[in-house]
Every structure is written in structure tokens, then in C-alpha cells.
Amino acid sequence: MATYVQTANSEFAARGIPGDSVLPIVYGDESMAKSGDIVVKVDGTAVTDSQGYTLDITSDNITVTANSAIGVLYGLHTVLQSMIANGTTVMAGTVTDYPDVPERSLYLDAGRVFYTVDMMKSFIHTLSWNKMNVLYLDFSNNNATRFFLDDMNVTVAGTDYDVSTCKPDNGYWTESDMNEILAEAEQYGVQIIPTLDSPGHIGGVYSINNSWFYRASATDYDAKVGKITLDLSNEDAYAFGQALVAKYVDYFASKGCTSFNIAADEASYADGTHMNSTDPRFVNYVNDLNDYIVSKGMTTRMFNDAVKSVDSGVSKDIIILYWVPASPNAQALLAAGYDVVNFVYTYVYYAYGASSYWNADLSKVYGWNPGIFGDSANAELGDNGYAYPDSVGKVLGGNFAIWSDYGYNYGKTGADVIKGTSCAYQRSDYSVRQKIYAVAERTWNQDGATASLSDWEATLLDAPAGISVSTGDMDATVLPEASAVTPAAPSKVDKTLLQETYDYAVTLSTEGVTDSAKAAFEKALANAEAVLADDNATQDEVNAAWDALLEGIWGLGLTQGNKDVLEMLIERADGMMENVDKYVEANWQELVDALAAAKDVMADGDAMQEDVDKAADALLDAIMAQRFKADKSVLEELVNRATQMVENADKYVETHWQELLDALTGAQAIMAD
């Protein structure tokens, strides 16, 4: 992420935002951010799309949160573009942004004409500025190969061939040049997909041994050199093609590239008829290349025109670059399990010097999206990207292709191609730079721009040190060296108030304080002591420790209630419980409940005086409500005597006898109660 932040750091300064000097770049805890800072962070849970980002803009800060490092760069580009367009005052709010497709690419035919290293860097800057993340670098065609490794020795059937003898006299890249291009691409988040076309379009190495090639005549952009294709029926030619591609694959794999494009388009026999998947040798050739490329940890790509059937045998590991509507069409290829990138020429081709047939109007490009393949049906955008109902493979993305077609025939340069200077079937409305921006717009979000075409064009901004939208010149802006990434210096922390409060707190007593209040105070006191001793404590940590200690001190006012009276009442009630048989049952449960509640309060270290008094009052009331059972022993003796008298009634005179009977009946009733 640091590299991407430094890239944006240079771009901000290059555009004078907020000034000409680069801003400092520091890392540390988010709490250390100051007002006015741009905060960047990676959080895969907050942003789920792998290239997505969120901007949270407040009066204090702009925070860029992304799922990955590349999302940080995209977010920073959005911030810078907004400030260039609207000034450094940015409206507060939240923006969430992510692409419709994972790959948003440019294809550059750098074989027919030469592009300088500086121009390649300008392309990379422009792509990154527009959130395009792939550059197909086609460095060889029928007229020239324009990239040579330091060691270009290729061995075929025991004979060494030095491919460096094929260097053109009008420009090529050395291994050092390519290292520089790849490093720039990595810094700007652009993946380079190297392209070496074979078995067709391979005339750049024709001179190595012309007996290995078919050479068909041509009247178009290949008129000077012909249509040159490896003769796959020749074992040495076959082996040479495999070895040459493998040599470049080894280099690019060692540089971290993850995909290689073998193209395999427009191959032809000597009579000019097309070579394709109906020829088993062609199928074997592309599959053998694929096997080697995959063994190096890369994926293989090729154009669709030579795949004549979904059952042709061409490996389904190979990603199809769909440029010409044909049979099988895009829907059939996807249904068969091929992954596809949309290159359809009727929308997203620029063929330098060619007629309007190969160059769609800008308005048509502006209305395109990666689901439009020029076939009868379009793929629809859903939760899993663009797809047809029967899709198995994936639509990986969309591309804008720059073909230098007639540039070689007319002695043009890469600068001429990108400017659209006069050549062959010249058009005045190529709008090639605007088309790059349009494809970037539609591959990121098919509904992104809703303005009219003219209004949208007016919003386009040149990338710092990129290619000018209006002229095609390389932006002469010098990107200043980015700031080094350093640890954030902690702000000066003031512990004075915490120290004074701590010194006071240690003098306080916790005697009689409720248990919870005592525990909270002791915890806050210990934390304050630790923060005071921590030289790296932040001001936020100091402030939090002080707040907690204050609350702990305030809690010391929560004292336990006096339980002496309650304790005496509990002792008396316990004694009554031991003599339960002496008391009547009428109010006994009241005493049982009140005693249990009183014991709970007695055991509660947090019980306040109000709680204690309430429990004591309830227990006292319950004690006073109890009554002894009556003593009937004397009455019992009298009842026994009276009963004996009744049993001997004949011994007594009748006078007052009835009174005795009535008294006995009443006494017996009392005994029974």
C-alpha cells in the first residue's frame, strides 16, 4: 500500500493540491490522525469488493477505506480528481465505489511502430488515473519484433539461433527498458500482459530462418511484408515457436506477470487461407504453449477467431479475447466454460489509418459496456458480473485496443498513432484518447456517466504525466519525488491532570464502601497508575484513564448501610425458628419470607442504608405479628374431672347439673381448637 500512497502523493503535488510540495506520509494508529489529514486504511470487512473503496468525508478528515491496496489508490485518485474539478473544499458525505468487472484493459500494438519508454509510462499513468488495471503489451508483429532480452539464444534441433539478429533499425526495447516499464506499471497498479503472437503475425523474426514460415501476399497494412505464419508441419518451425515463446514467458514470469497472451489470431497458410482449430497441429501448438505457460504459474490468453468450435480441443484453461463476432459466439464460449474478455472490434477498436469500418464513433463507444459483444444477445450485469443465463465461464472484463495498423507502411511513430495524425484512410474523428476514457468509464460502471457525450467530454482530466486528452501529447508535468513513509510522531501528551487526580485518589479510604464501588475505584486507580507509567500512552488513553478515575472517586460515596439492628432482628427470628411449635400458624409464613429477605440484604456488600432499613422494618413487623399457642393443661384436667362426674351422674343431685354439662361442652370445644 505504501507504494500506491506515494504514487498518489506525487500526483497531488504535481497538480498543486494543496500546494506544490509533497505532503508528509506517516503511518500509525488511526487515533493519531490530525484535523485536515487524509486517512487511508485497508479493511476487508468494511469493503467487500476486492478493488472497491469507500470515502468518508467529514469536516475534519477524508478517510479512504479499501478492501485492498489497489482500492486505496483508486480512492485517492477519486479524491484528487474531485479537488482538481471542484477545488480543495469537498462536500461531506460517504461514497462507496467498486467496478463492474475485475479487468479494465488497454491493448497496445507496439510491434508495427515504436513507442518510447517514456510514452509507455504515460500510457500507464493514464490507465491508472482511469482505474484501468491491465495493459496488453504486444511487442511483435509481421514487420518487427520490438523487445529483446539480453540473451536471445534459442536452440532448435541442436542448432543455436540468435534472435537478436532480428532487431529492427527503427526502435526496440531492451531488457533494461522492459524492467523499467514493468516497475512503472507495478507502481501504478497496472498489470502487464505480454503478447507474442504466434503462429501468425510472427514476421518480426522471419529472417531467423525463412524456410520455417508461410508468407502470403497482402494488400492491407501488411502489404510491405506479407502475412507471415509458422509452418506447423515443419517440426523445427514448431519447436522454434514453442522455444521463443517459452523464453519470453520465463522472463515475464520472473517479473511477477500472471498472464501471457499468445494471440494466435489471423494465422494463414501460404495461399492465404486461414489456419485455425480445424487443423490438429494448430490445436496442439496452442495447447502446448498453454501447458508451458501454466507450468510457470501464469494463465494463457488468445483471440477467438481461430476457435471454430467449443469442442475444438483448444484448452478451456485459455482465456478467450473475443474480438470478432463469430461462431461459436461469446454466449456459446461462456456456456462451454471459457472465460472471456470483451474486445469486440465493432465498438472498442482503434485501427490507425484504417477506415470507419474499424473505428466506431465515440458516441457508440460511450454507449457500450462489457456485456455487449456485437452478437444477437447481450450479457446482463448481475451479482456475479456479466453473464448469459447459461454461462459457466466468466466475463472477466472489457478492453480498448489500439492497433497501429498502417503506421509501419507510412513510416509513423507511436506518437503519431496516439495523436491520430494523417495516415491512409484518415478520419478526423478518431477520438482515440477519449475512447480510452469512455471504455474506462463503462468497464468500471456501466451506468457511471449519465451526462450527454459533450458534457461528459468536458469533464475529462489529464493524468499527471499522462497523455493529454485534447492533443495526445505526453503531459510534461514532472512528478516530484514522493515523501518517505515514516512513523507518525505522537502528539505531546499532557498527564498533569491525571497525575494530580491520582495523587488525591491514593489518599482515599474504601472502608464501608459498597463492594462494586470499591472494585471500580481500585480498577480505575490501577489503570491510571499504568497509563502514567507508559511513555507511549496517547492523549486519548490519558483522557480515558482520567474519566474512569473520576467516576471511581465519585463512587466512594456509595457506602454500605449500618446492619447492627438488622443483625439483632435476624438473631431473634432465628431463635423463633428453632421453636416453631410454640407459635400459631396464622402469620408464620410472613416471618419466614421476611427473614430470608433480611439475610439476603445482610449478605449484599452493595446494600445501602435504605435497603437495610426496609429489610429490618419488614422483619420486625413479621416478628411482632407472631402469637404463642394457648396453655390448656389446667383446662384439660378440669375437663377430665367433669367427664368422670358425668360418668357417675347417679351419684349427684340434679340441682345445677345442666350448668355442668353446658360448661363441659364449652371446655371440650376449646380443647379441640
Dist CA 8 CA 22 (whole Å): 10
Pick among 1.20.5, 1.10.287, 1.10.3470, 3.90.1150: CATH of 496-557: 1.20.5
Answer yes or no: are the C-beta atoms of 313 and 277 closer than 8 Å. Answer: yes
Q: What are phi and psi of 154, to 5 degrees?
A: -125, 130
pLDDT, mean of each 10-residue run, the chain (673 residues): 96 94 92 91 94 96 97 98 90 95 98 98 98 99 98 98 98 99 98 99 98 94 94 98 99 99 98 97 99 99 98 98 97 98 97 91 95 93 94 98 94 94 76 97 88 94 96 92 87 85 90 89 94 88 91 80 81 88 87 91 86 87 79 72 80 72 82 74
Instruction: Report if pTM > 0.85.
Output: no
Output the pLDDT for position 653.
65
Return the bridge partners of 117, or none.
none
Query: Which is nearest to 417 in space by CA: 105, 123, 194?
Result: 123
Instruction: List C-alpha distances in Å: 241 to 161, 196, 237, 264, 512.
Output: 12, 10, 6, 12, 93
Pick among 3.40.50.720, 3.40.50.1100, 3.20.20.80, 3.30.470.20: CATH of 103-457: 3.20.20.80
Provide CATH code, domain 2-98.
3.30.379.10
Dist CA 26 CA 14 (whole Å): 20
Cα-based torsion angle of the residue sequence 278, 281, 286, 289 in order, rounded to the nearest 10 degrees: 170
Q: Supply the Cα-derived Rg of the chain in whole angstroms.
A: 46
Output the pLDDT for position 497.
83
Output the pLDDT for position 428.
61
Output the pLDDT for position 126.
98
Dist CA 123 CA 296 (whole Å): 28
